C-alpha cells in the first residue's frame, strides 16, 4: 500500500502552494489513477512522494517512508518524463548499467526487454527511439528491480492508442500479481478505462476520491445538472414520467438539493418542473469532461486523528531531498557507463592520430629532445595530446552524467559518494594508463617506419621518464574526474586540466623564484635511512623517480591541484550529507 499524508509543496513568495494538504491511499492489487487537468499538481504530488522535491508531508510505501528503505528501486519503480540516459547508449546497455546501479543481475535486462517487447531493439540507440518505444523502455526501467509498487507520470502521453492499450495491460497485470500501481493522467476516459480507484485533483487539492465504477458513472456520461429546493419531489416526477413514456432515464441524488439526470434533456426536465410547479435554481447540460466539480461525491482527504493541545492539527513533517546511496555496485556500474558510449573510443583514436602526426613533425625539425619527441610534446604546447585526452575522458566520467543523467528517476541526481568516486578514479586511471602506453608505442612504431631505429632508442633515464609520463597522464585524468564531480560540468573538468600548466605552474615558479637557503639534496638516501631497511628489488629507484616527478614544475603543480580538488570534493560530499 502507498499512503500519502499531508503532501504540501513549498510556497514561492506570496503564491499559493502548487499542492496543498494532499492525502490519499493506493491499495495493492488495484490500479489507482491520479487525475487532474494541466497544472492541477499531479507531477508535484509524485515528486513529493518520491522525495525529489522539498515540501511537507510524508508518504509510506508498505509502512515505510522512502528514505528508510535500504534499496528504494526494489520497492517502487518510477517513470517521470522521458527515460534519462545518453542518446548514444543502446537500450540493452542502458538497462545493464541500471542493473549495476540497482544491484541486480545483468540478465534481468534481457528479461524485462522480453517483457516489454523490446528484445528486437536491444541494440538501438536511445536517441533513435520513437515515443512509444521510449515509454516501453521507461516501463522496463521501472520493472528492472521487480518492485512492489509502480509510480508513473502520464505513461501514455503522446503515444498511439494501440501502445496505450498495451501499457494499460502491463499495469493491470502488475496489479493482478499483487502490486500497487499509481499513475497520473489528465484524461478522464483513460482513468475510467484503466483504474480501479480514481483520485481527482484540482488546484493542488483532492476534490474527489472514488471507485472506478462511480467515477465512470458520474464523469463520463452526459447528464443534466438540476438544483432545486424540491429535489426529491422533482426526481420522483421525472422517474414516473420516464416509466410512463418508456424512456431510459436515470435520476441520481447527489446530496442536498442537487440531481444528476441521465438520458433526458434540459427542455424535458424544464417542462416537467413547470407543469408541476417545481422551483428550479439550476438547469444545465454537463459531461464528464467538465472538470472535477462534476464528481458525484467529494470525499475530504483523510487527516490524522491526533491533535495538538491548542486544538490545531499537527504540522506534517518536512520533506527533504535526500541524496541517493549511489550505485550498489559502483565499479561494475562505472565500467558499463564508460564502455556504453563511443566517446572514449573516439577520444582515444583522436589522441593516437594527433600524437603520431605531432611526433612526425617534431622528428622532421630535428631539434626536439628525445623524451619530448616520444611523448609528442612540443615546447610550445602546455600538455601533450595524451594528457589532454586523458583529462577529457576523466571530465566526461562525471560531467557527462549531469548532461545526460545515467541513473533512473527515482535515484535523483548522481551522488557524490566516495565509493563511486573511487570507482571512477580507478577506471579513469586504468584508461589513462592504457592511453599513455598506446601513445608512446604508436609514436615509436611510426618513427621506426619513417626514420629508422636511430630515433626510437630509449633515453638512459627511461625509468624516471616513464614514471613522469605515467604520473602526468593519470594525474590529468584524475584532475578531470575531481573537477567535473565538483562543478558537475565536463567543461570545468577539462579547464581544470589545462589550468595546471597554464596557471598553476607559473604561479608556483613565481612563488619559488629567488635564491634558496636550503637544498633537498640526498632525499633518496635519507628516506632509505629513515626506513632502516633496504628497499626490495631496487625499490629506491622508483621512490626516487616519483620524488623527481613531484619536484618538476608540472608534476608539483599537478600534485598540488589534485590535493586541492580532492579536498574540495570531500568538502562538498560532507556538506551534502550534513544537509
- Where in the sequence is the domain holding 7, given as residue range(s)? 2-211
| Residue-level pLDDT at 295 | 40
> What are the CA-CA distances from residue 497 to residues 347, 358, 394, 476, 563 (Å)?
16, 20, 10, 6, 13
Q: Are strands 197-202 and 31-35 parallel, antiparallel or unpaired?
A: parallel
Q: Are strands 64-65 and 22-26 parallel, antiparallel or unpaired?
A: unpaired
Q: What is the pLDDT of residues 421-451, one digit of tens each?
A: 999 999 999 999 999 999 999 999 999 998 8
- Are the C-beta atoms of residues 209 and 27 closer than 8 Å to each other? no
For a pLDDT cut of 90, what percent of the chain falls above it? 49
Q: Do 143 and 256 belong to one domain?
A: no
- Are the C-beta atoms of residues 288 and 220 closer than 8 Å to each other? yes
| pLDDT-wise least confident of 19-33, 383-397, 456-470 | 456-470
Q: Do 186 and 231 belong to one domain?
A: no
Total tally of structural domains belonging to the chain: 3
- Are the C-beta atoms of residues 261 and 249 closer than 8 Å to each other? yes
143 or 552, greater pLDDT = 143
Q: Do 336 and 400 belong to one domain?
A: yes
Mark which of 255, 271, 286 sits at the end of a domain: 286
For a pLDDT cut of 70, what percent of the chain falls above it? 86
In a domain, 304, yes or no: no
Distance in angstroms (rounded) separating the CA atoms of residues 34 and 37: 10
SS (H, E, C) 369-431: CHHHHHHCCCCCCCCCHHHHHHHHHHHHHHHHHHHCCCCCHHHCCCCCCHHHHHHHHHHHHHH
**Closest C-alpha among 73, 134, 62, 69 to residue 108:** 73
| Residue-level pLDDT at 504 | 84
310 pLDDT band, cuts 50/70/90, is very low
What mean pLDDT do residues 562-567 have? 92
Mark which of 211, 239, 273 sits at the end of a domain: 211
Task: Name the 3-class secondary structure at 534.
Answer: coil
Q: Do 457 and 526 belong to one domain?
A: yes
Q: Where are the beta strands (DSSP E) in 141-204?
A: 149-153, 180-185, 197-202
Q: What is the CA radius of gyration of the chain?
A: 34
Burial group, residue 24, by CB count within 10 angstroms (0-12, 13-18, 19+): buried
The pLDDT of residue 465 is above 70:
yes
CATH number of the domain enclosing 233: 3.30.70
In a domain, 293, yes or no: no
Vertex 574: Cα angle to 573 and 576 (nearest 5): 65
Distance in angstroms (rounded) separating the CA atoms of residues 127 and 117: 18
Q: Do 453 and 342 belong to one domain?
A: yes
288 or 460, greater pLDDT = 460
| Residue-level pLDDT at 152 | 95
Q: Do 165 and 204 belong to one domain?
A: yes
CATH number of the domain enclosing 147: 3.40.50.300
In a domain, 311, yes or no: no
In a domain, 296, yes or no: no
Q: Do 37 and 67 belong to one domain?
A: yes
The partner residues of 255 in beta bridges, in order of sequence, read: 258
Q: Do 147 and 228 belong to one domain?
A: no
198 pLDDT band, cuts 50/70/90, is very high
| Residue-level pLDDT at 579 | 53
- Are the C-beta atoms of residues 431 and 344 closer than 8 Å to each other? yes
The pLDDT of residue 312 is above 50:
no
Vertex 249: Cα angle to 248 and 255 (nearest 5): 155
In a domain, 545, yes or no: yes
Q: On the CB side of 357, how many CA atoms lie within 13 Å of its CA?
A: 7
In a domain, 305, yes or no: no
Mark which of 166, 182, 211 sits at the end of a domain: 211
Q: Do 195 and 236 belong to one domain?
A: no
Instruction: Outline where 500-538 has alpha helix (H).
Output: 505-512, 523-531
In a domain, 339, yes or no: yes
Q: Do 153 and 116 belong to one domain?
A: yes
Q: What is the pLDDT of residues 213-235, one digit of tens each?
A: 888 877 777 788 899 999 999 99
In a domain, 421, yes or no: yes
Q: Do 405 and 432 belong to one domain?
A: yes
Q: Do 110 and 160 belong to one domain?
A: yes
**What is the 8-class DSSP label of residue 501?**
I
Task: Name the 3-class secondary structure at 65.
Answer: strand
Amino acid at each position: 500500500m502507498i499512503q500519502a499524508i499531508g503532501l504540501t509543496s513549498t510556497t514561492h513568495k506570496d503564491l499559493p502552494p502548487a499542492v496543498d494538504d494532499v492525502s490519499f491511499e493506493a491499495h495493492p492489487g488495484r490500479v489507482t489513477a491520479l487525475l487532474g487537468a494541466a497544472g492541477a499538481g499531479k507531477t508535484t504530488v509524485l515528486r513529493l512522494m518520491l522525495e525529489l522535491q522539498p515540501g511537507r508531508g510524508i508518504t509510506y510505501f508498505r509502512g515505510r517512508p522512502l528514505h528508510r528503505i535500504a534499496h528504494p528501486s526494489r520497492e517502487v519503480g518510477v517513470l517521470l518524463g522521458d527515460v534519462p540516459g545518453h542518446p548514444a547508449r543502446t537500450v540493452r546497455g542502458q538497462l545493464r548499467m541500471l542493473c549495476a546501479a540497482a544491484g541486480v543481475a545483468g540478465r534481468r535486462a534481457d528479461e524485462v526487454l522480453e517483457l516489454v517487447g523490446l528484445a528486437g531493439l536491444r541494440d538501438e540507440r536511445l536517441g533513435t527511439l520513437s515515443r512509444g518505444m521510449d515509454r516501453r523502455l521507461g516501463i522496463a526501467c521501472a520493472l528492472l528491480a521487480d518492485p512492489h509498487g509502480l509510480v508513473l507520470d502520464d505513461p501514455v502521453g503522446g503515444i498511439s492508442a494501440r501502445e496505450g492499450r498495451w501499457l494499460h495491460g502491463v499495469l493491470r497485470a502488475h496489479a493482478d500479481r499483487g502490486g500497487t500501481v499509481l499513475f497520473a493522467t489528465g484524461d478522464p476516459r483513460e482513468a475510467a478505462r484503466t483504474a480501479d480507484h480514481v483520485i481527482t485533483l484540482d488546484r493542488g487539492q483532492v476534490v474527489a476520491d472514488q471507485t472506478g465504477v462511480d467515477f465512470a458513472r458520474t464523469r463520463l456520461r452526459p447528464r443534466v445538472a438540476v438544483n432545486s429546493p424540491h429535489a426529491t419531489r422533482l426526481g420522483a416526477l421525472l422517474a414516473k414520467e420516464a416509466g410512463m413514456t418508456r424512456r431510459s432515464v436515470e435520476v441520481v441524488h447527489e446530496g442536498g438539493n442537487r440531481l444528476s439526470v441521465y438520458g433526458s434533456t434540459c427542455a424535458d426536465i424544464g417542462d416537467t418542473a413547470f407543469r408541476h410547479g417545481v422551483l428550479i435554481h439550476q438547469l444545465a447540460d454537463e459531461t464528464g469532461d467538465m472538470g472535477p466539480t462534476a464528481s458525484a461525491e467529494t470525499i475530504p482527504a483523510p487527516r490524522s486523528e491526533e491533535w495538538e493541545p491548542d486544538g490545531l492539527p499537527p504540522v506534517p513533517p518536512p520533506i527533504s531531498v535526500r541524496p541517493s546511496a549511489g550505485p550498489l555496485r559502483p565499479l561494475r556500474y562505472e565500467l558499463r557507463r564508460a564502455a556504453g558510449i563511443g566517446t572514449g573510443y573516439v577520444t582515444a583514436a583522436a589522441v593516437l592520430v594527433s600524437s603520431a602526426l605531432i611526433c612526425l613533425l617534431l622528428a622532421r625539425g630535428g631539434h626536439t629532445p628525445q623524451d619530448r619527441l616520444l611523448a609528442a610534446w612540443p615546447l610550445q604546447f602546455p600538455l601533450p595530446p595524451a594528457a589532454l585526452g586523458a583529462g577529457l575522458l576523466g571530465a566526461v566520467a562525471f560531467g557527462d552524467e549531469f548532461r545526460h543523467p545515467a541513473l533512473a528517476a527515482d535515484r535523483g541526481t548522481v551522488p557524490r559518494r566516495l565509493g563511486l568516486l573511487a570507482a571512477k578514479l580507478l577506471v579513469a586511471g586504468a584508461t589513462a594508463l592504457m592511453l599513455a602506453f598506446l601513445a608512446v608505442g604508436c609514436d615509436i612504431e611510426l618513427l621506426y617506419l619513417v626514420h629508422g631505429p636511430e630515433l626510437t632508442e630509449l633515453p638512459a633515464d627511461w625509468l624516471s621518464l616513464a614514471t613522469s609520463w605515467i604520473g602526468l597522464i593519470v594525474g590529468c585524468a584524475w584532475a578531470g574526474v575531481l573537477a567535473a564531480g565538483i562543478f558537475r560540468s565536463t567543461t570545468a573538468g577539462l579547464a581544470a586540466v589545462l589550468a595546471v600548466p597554464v596557471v598553476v605552474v607559473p604561479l608556483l615558479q613565481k612563488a619559488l623564484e629567488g635564491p634558496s637557503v636550503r637544498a633537498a639534496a640526498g632525499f633518496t638516501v635519507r628516506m632509505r635511512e629513515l626506513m632502516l631497511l633496504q628497499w626490495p628489488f631496487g625499490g629506491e629507484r622508483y621512490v626516487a623517480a616519483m620524488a623527481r616527478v613531484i619536484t618538476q614544475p608540472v608534476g608539483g603543480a599537478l600534485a598540488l591541484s589534485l590535493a586541492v580538488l580532492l579536498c574540495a570534493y570531500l568538502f562538498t560530499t560532507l556538506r551534502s550529507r550534513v544537509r
